[in-house]
């Protein structure tokens, strides 16, 4: 229960920050264009807290934390006093209205740059992508990749860490053509180019795992036999296993590697297992029954809900980067640009069926990721906030009525034609836009629920 509450809390924090910045963008530019802002609301529905500033704007925190809005004085929403007509939104020039509509998404991109700047200001570090195993017959095998090679670039872009390699692989989802790996061997500066041919790569996969699909397993230090994590309400917890226990045997058979022991557990779903552990200098024997867990492939495996302590990474396999104030800002700008391009490319692939719509995530997934990233540290959480801010900015710029992009579309048409789009056209567009947004939200929520 506590874990669920923390997940909800961090999700609300993330959503609150993103919505507040987005709406503040509209608010700030509207004020500078001379528009009277009547209400600035974070959330919808019943007002929980509200206050007024010297300009008469009501600031509100509402009960339903799934968005927000800025309500401006507008003749289309009711009569406006004669002496306040010059402050009405609809009386402003088309270019001022364009600036106000665009300000929300722009605020999200500015927030992303600032958050990435904070992340890079603290420096970054990550394990180098060094090949440990190659699956026979896989893309990696056909390209010529071998164990112990370090993948230093993909398609000409540097991949100094696991995260960088995963991002570059994710950009190729649904693509057809060549995937070019640049590798080098240990204690060598010589680099080699290796090429794999791909055709609509992973386009039908619901939840693709790019590293596994190209057929490589990256090196990680071996796990110890000492338990670090016992999942709540898991078979392990019910059996009496504790964090700090060291597994020594199962069913009388000794085990010395985590990989061998977990393989033994996986093969015994629903079957009682006797587990011997060392605890406080004594050997304790407990009985645990692995639950059945169905993998995406359809295979059913056993799980008991435990995680091990790991062995520290060798320092020579860690890539560390330090940035000054200016360097961190440039890195933040570049990261925002790349992630924006990645988001747009992903949308294009979704629309044209190059990747599965199952990749679309909704509020449940976002909440879970927010909670996990918060537990991983402030840099991880700020990085997630930056990514979500970019996604919100891109989504709102789509030319769909209801969204900022839909309003911008109408205003640009007005700027070209010299007169506003007819009210009837706007109403029809609003209905279509609402249907599209509701459809997308329902699909995202359905994906979330099926993942549970």
| Burial class of residue 172 (count of CB atoms within 10 Å of its CB; 0-12, 13-18, 19+) | middle
Instruction: Please choose, from the candidates 30, 92, 94, 17, the residue with its C-alpha nearest in 3D space to the C-alpha of residue 57.
Output: 30
**Interatomic CA distance for residues 188 and 379, integer angstroms:** 33
**Interatomic CA distance for residues 89 and 100, integer angstroms:** 9
Q: Are 364 and 442 in contact (CB under 8 A)?
A: no
370: which 2 tokens?
């927010």
Q: Which residues are part of the catalytic machinery?
A: 23
Helix, strand, coil percentages, rounded to 5, for the chain: 50, 25, 30
Instruction: Please choose, from the candidates 162, 157, 161, the residue with its C-alpha nearest in 3D space to the C-alpha of residue 179.
Output: 157
Which residue, chain included where needed, has tokens 């002496």? 83
Q: Are 229 and 304 in contact (CB under 8 A)?
A: no
| Burial class of residue 53 (count of CB atoms within 10 Å of its CB; 0-12, 13-18, 19+) | exposed
Give 321's strand partners.
124
298: which 2 tokens?
């359809």
365: which 2 tokens?
């997934």
**Interatomic CA distance for residues 349 and 383, integer angstroms:** 24
Using DSSP's 3-state secondary structure scheme, residue 173 falls into coil
What DSSP element (H or E) covers 307? strand 306-310
Give the contacts of 313 (CB within 8 A, at least 6 positions apart).
Answer: 127, 221
Residue 123's Cβ-side half-sphere holds a number of Cα atoms within 13 Å equal to 7
**Interatomic CA distance for residues 372 and 10, integer angstroms:** 9
Which residue, chain included where needed, has tokens 């629309």? 351
Q: Are 132 and 217 in contact (CB under 8 A)?
A: yes
């Amino acid at each position: 229960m506590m874990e669920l509450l923390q997940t909800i809390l961090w999700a609300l924090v993330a959503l609150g920050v993103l919505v507040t910045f987005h709406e503040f963008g509209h608010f700030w530019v509207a004020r500078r264009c001379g528009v009277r802002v009547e209400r600035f609301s974070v959330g919808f529905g019943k007002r929980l807290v509200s206050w007024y500033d010297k300009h008469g704007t009501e600031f509100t925190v509402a009960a339903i934390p799934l968005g927000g809005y800025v309500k401006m004085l507008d003749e289309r929403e009711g009569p406006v006093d004669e002496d306040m007509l010059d402050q009405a939104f609809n009386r402003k020039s088309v270019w001022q209205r364009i600036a106000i509509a665009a300000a929300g998404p722009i605020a999200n991109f500015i927030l992303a740059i600032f958050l990435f700047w904070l992340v890079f200001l603290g420096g970054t570090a990550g394990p180098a992508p060094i090949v440990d195993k190659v699956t026979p017959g896989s893309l990696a095998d056909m390209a010529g990749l071998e164990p112990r090679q370090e993948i230093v670039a993909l398609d000409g872009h540097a991949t100094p860490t696991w995260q960088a390699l995963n991002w570059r692989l994710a950009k190729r989802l649904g693509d057809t053509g060549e995937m070019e790996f640049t590798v080098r061997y240990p204690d060598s500066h010589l680099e080699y180019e290796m090429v794999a041919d791909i055709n609509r790569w992973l386009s039908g996969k619901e939840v693709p795992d790019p590293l596994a699909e190209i057929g490589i397993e990256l090196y990680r230090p071996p796990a110890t036999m000492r338990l670090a994590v016992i999942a709540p309400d898991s078979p392990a917890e019910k059996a009496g296993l504790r964090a700090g226990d060291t597994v020594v045997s199962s069913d009388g058979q000794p085990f010395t590697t985590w990989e061998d022991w977990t393989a033994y557990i996986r093969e015994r779903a629903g079957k009682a297992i006797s587990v011997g552990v060392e605890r406080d200098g004594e050997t304790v024997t407990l009985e645990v029954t692995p639950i059945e867990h169905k993998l995406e492939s359809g295979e059913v495996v056993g799980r008991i809900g435990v995680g091990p302590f790991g062995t520290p990474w060798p320092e020579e396999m860690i890539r560390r980067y330090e940035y000054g104030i200016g360097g961190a800002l440039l890195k933040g700008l570049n990261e925002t640009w790349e992630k924006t391009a990645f988001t747009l490319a992903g949308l294009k692939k979704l629309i044209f069926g190059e990747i599965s719509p199952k990749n679309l995530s909704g509020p449940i997934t976002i909440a879970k990721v927010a909670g996990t990233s918060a537990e991983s540290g402030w840099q991880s959480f700020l990085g997630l906030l930056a990514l979500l801010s970019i996604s919100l900015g891109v989504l709102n710029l789509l030319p769909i009525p209801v969204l900022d992009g839909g309003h911008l579309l109408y205003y640009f048409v007005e700027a070209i034609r010299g007169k506003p789009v007819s009210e009837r056209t706007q109403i029809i567009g609003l209905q279509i836009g609402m249907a599209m947004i509701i459809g997308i939200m329902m699909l995202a929520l359905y994906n979330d629920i099926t993942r549970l």
